[in-house]
Structure 1
């Protein structure tokens, strides 16, 4: 059987107020998620961005071009129904956070990691009350239990839409600290992405750029920046 694909059937996508938030209407009919749940969005800004994605579709609907809708669907259909599990998965990154695993050589790479990563660990210690211990090598070390507990509590307190954004920020960067920092304005989100790629950048400087790997990295960067945009849309009125 051929795969069924949704084709554009509506003329206008619009934003509507509903109980609990905002939604998108297609010619006056409310959009639902793939699991048939009501599309209840936390801000008018997110609903407007989602409506714009629907309006941009021509012919066959292409979900890959609708990152706000995909994020909203994930938050409603997946994250909200297993919130504790998702929060635990994200918080567990602190046990082996990228920023805590340093090279032991060469000196130039060690220095570059320290210059970029130490300030973020200092921020986690001071702003999040969660000091973490950096070590040389990839073998995990036991991080302070109180720090892990504090970070777990902070992540668990987030709503489903925020967790959806954080899930991507952390998973793509490999660091809970970077993900949490990307939710703030302590550094530009583009800078934080570059900080997460120090090891890869170093390898490229030594051995040259692999075009296929560079394309994958660029796609991940777009997703990282989109996760921050999705987070911002949850905050705007």
Structure 2
């Protein structure tokens, strides 16, 4: 006979389950505040404006309000300080001694530092017209002292300073030219057009044509580099400075920097001043060099009129901001930040085109 096995009672019964609370605070009921508001309920929140036309209209209204506030503030400042709105009534362009001068009534426009009369070559009538327009839209004398309101005047004065420095007989001649060359060549090693994204992975975004960000960057860079190595620096090879998964930029091959440095030092005053402005605006040396080469009326230019849409301000601004635009299309742009920066880049590049272009007949 088999004897049954006896199981202890403490093992047969289930053990009590102990629950450990996540907090030790005493639970209390919420005190609901009485409704004391009067009138209809507020309007429900409206979604963000997604229509481009509505957003444009809203920005126009904001611009009009800012303009009105600026006019009121300027009027108040004029009354409080006793300064007239501006001492000139008309802005004209006159040809004097083989150069174009902008006159504020009967007074010629002068360099703010040297007080020399600003003389624009006869071959640059568009530059003179833009300079006159810049001073015609000023509403007070006080605005003429603010550099951000007269950017084209500053750029022209920069070119004139280089002209005077080149013509001086001092031991420090071409000091400004040398400093500009040293500055712009630093951007060649970190050129925004030569920094390519790593190869796209399976989950990376592609455009409608099936291209990745790297493909778009490579296409834009090869087009500009091909133009420069064919028409401007024949015989040299320009490589990308940041490619693949590398995080450290690499320098160009031996001799490339010397060729480009000699080209920059050989530019005239208007061209090197324009190159400096374009490099600082787009953070790309090769894109700035192509702008100067295609639009210049001097010996560095291609010697023919640039067809409309060849390498315009719009083209170069897009080429130097490919990655920013790519990310904005994927994640959205920051309003009043990305768009404002793009407009500022276009403005600066447009001033470069005005500075270096002309009719091709130099008159100094």
TM-score class, shorter-chain normalisation, is 0.7 to 0.9
Residue 13 of structure 1 and its aligned partner are, at CA, apart by 2.6
Residue 4 of structure 1 and its aligned partner are, at CA, apart by 11
Match of 2:216 among 98, 103, 112: 112
2:309 matches 1:230? no
Q: Which has the higher helix share?
A: 1
Count of aligned pairs: 236
**Residues 1:24 and 1:188: Cα distance change in structure 2 (over 3 Å):** closer
Kept after mapping to 1: 8 A contact 2:313/2:346: no
What is the TM-score of this pair, normalised by structure 2?
A: 0.57
Look up the match of 2:273. Answer: 164
Which SS does the other structure have where 1:23 is aligned?
strand
Name which one, 1 or 2, has greater alpha-carbon Rg: 2
CA distance in 2, matches of 1:52, 1:148: 39
Which SS does the other structure have where 1:25 is aligned?
strand
Look up the match of 2:131. Answer: 50
Look up the match of 1:38. Answer: 117
Kept after mapping to 2: 8 A contact 1:33/1:77: no
Which SS does the other structure have where 1:190 is aligned?
helix
CA distance in 2, matches of 1:227, 1:25: 23
**Residues 1:218 and 1:24: Cα distance change in structure 2 (over 3 Å):** closer
Cα-to-partner distance string for 1:46-88 (whole Å, 9 max, x where unaligned): 3333223323333345344434322212322478541221122
Look up the match of 2:156. Answer: 72
Match of 1:27 among 69, 91, 105: 105
Which SS does the other structure have where 1:17 is aligned?
strand
Which moved further from structure 2: 174-183 or 68-77? 68-77
Which moved further from structure 2: 56-65 or 81-90? 56-65
2:321 matches 1:197? yes
Which SS does the other structure have where 2:239 is aligned?
coil
Residue 132 of structure 1 and its aligned partner are, at CA, apart by 1.0
**Residues 1:151 and 1:187: Cα distance change in structure 2 (over 3 Å):** same
CA distance in 1, matches of 2:121, 2:84: 26
Look up the match of 1:187. Answer: 311
**Residues 1:205 and 1:170: Cα distance change in structure 2 (over 3 Å):** same
Cα-to-partner distance string for 1:176-209 (whole Å, 9 max, x where unaligned): 1101112314422311210111111111122211
CA distance in 1, matches of 2:276, 2:158: 11
CA distance in 2, matches of 1:126, 1:20: 36
CA distance in 1, matches of 2:247, 2:98: 45
**Residues 1:178 and 1:70: Cα distance change in structure 2 (over 3 Å):** same
Segments of 5+ residues of structure 2 without an aligned counterpart are 1-79, 166-175, 202-211, 295-305
Cα-to-partner distance string for 1:148-183 (whole Å, 9 max, x where unaligned): 111111111122222222112111211111011123
**Residues 1:236 and 1:201: Cα distance change in structure 2 (over 3 Å):** farther
Kept after mapping to 2: 8 A contact 1:95/1:148: no
Look up the match of 1:11. Answer: 89
Kept after mapping to 2: 8 A contact 1:122/1:131: no
Matches within 5 A, 1:111-190: 111-127=215-231, 128-129=233-234, 130-134=236-240, 135-136=242-243, 137-183=246-292, 184=294, 185=306, 186-190=310-314
Segments of 5+ residues of structure 1 without an aligned counterpart are none
CA distance in 2, matches of 1:105, 1:3: 61
What is the TM-score of this pair, normalised by structure 1?
A: 0.84
Larger relative contact order (CA 8 Å, sep ≥ 6): 1
Residue 143 of structure 1 and its aligned partner are, at CA, apart by 0.5
CA distance in 2, matches of 1:143, 1:217: 29
